[in-house]
Every structure is written in structure tokens, then in C-alpha cells.
Amino acid sequence: MHITRRQLVAATAACAALAGAGGVLAHLPAAAAGRRTFSAGELEIVAALAEAFFPPGNPVGVTGSGVNVAEELDRMLAEDLDSVVGPVFRHLLRGLEYGAIATHGARFSMLERPIREEILADWSEPGNVPRRMAYEVLKTCIGWAWFSAPVVRASLGWVSECHVGAA
């Protein structure tokens, strides 16, 4: 593959920018008050994702903003998954959040819902495998927390015959 001078300059500039921002991007802030995994900013990103994945008018009838997905996902990452998953997921959130600045001029969580939906649709395209994999992780984790909400399960008519935790 032939690399042009323009591509080399752009790649060099991108590497320099990442190296300069490395401290900002690599540092994970402390968990927000009352949370075990997510910082306040990450809670906003998760809420923005939930709203984009489960918008008003979705077939289930429960919006992403109608369920506290961020709180449930924070709990799941702290209690249900291996401890290495939380930091990796948090870095993925930061990549989405700050990557939107380069493509759309604002952080992901600050964009209007239709623009967030467009970004997620782009990430879901099969052409870029790492980006598609990141999309699938986000969709799975946000969906996992959303489907855990009793109001969502009730809306689906789901009834459990298993009484885990009952005495």
C-alpha cells in the first residue's frame, strides 16, 4: 500500500496529539458520589447512549431515559464482571465521547439524540471491524442494563418462574 506525504503528515500529527493528550485520555477519574465505577461524566455518556439506543417510540415503549441505565450498568460492572472490564469499558466510553469532537464538533453526550443515533449507525457498519466491535460492546452492555429494568421486562410481558434470592 502506498502512503502519500499528506497521509504521513496527518498520521504524525495525530500521533503527536494523542501523545500530548495521553495523560488526559489515559487517566480515569474517580467514581462519582454513590457510584462504584463511573465518574459523573461517564454517567452522562451512558445516559446519552441509552437514550440513543432506546429512543421515544421504540417498540417496547420504554425509553432509555426512562430507566436508570447508568446506575444499573455501574452496579453490573462492579459486581457481575471481572474487574478488568470496568476500566476497558470506561476507556471505550471516552473514545466515543471525545472522538465525536473530531467528527461532529462536540462531545457525544452533548450532541442532540438524532446525531448520536447517526454516530452509532456509522459505528455499526461492517467496514471498520474494531469500530464495529466497539459498537457491539456498547450496545450489549447498555442493552443488558436496560433489559434488567423491571419496567422494561413488564412492558415485554416477561414473567420469571425463577425466584432467585427468595427464602
> What's the pLDDT score for residue 110?
97
Q: Residue 69 is which amino acid?
A: V
- Please report which confidence band the pLDDT of residue 8 belongs to, taking 50, 70 and 90 as the band edges: very low
Mean pLDDT of the 140-144 span: 94
What's 52's DSSP letter? H
CB atoms within 10 A of CB 145: 25
> Cell triple for residue 124?
455499526
Domain boundaries, the chain: 31-156
For residues 122 and 81, what is the distance between their CA atoms, to the nearest angstrom? 28
Q: What is the pLDDT of residues 10-57, one digit of tens each?
A: 555 555 454 445 555 578 889 899 998 999 999 999 999 999 999 999
For residues 165 and 145, what is the distance between their CA atoms, to the nearest angstrom? 19
> What's the pLDDT score for residue 27?
83
CA dihedral over 29, 35, 40, 45, signed as positive or negative: positive
Contact in structure between 74 and 36 (CB atoms under 8 Å): yes
> Cell triple for residue 98?
471525545
Contact in structure between 149 and 67 (CB atoms under 8 Å): yes
Q: What is the pLDDT of residues 56-76, one digit of tens each?
A: 999 999 999 999 999 999 999
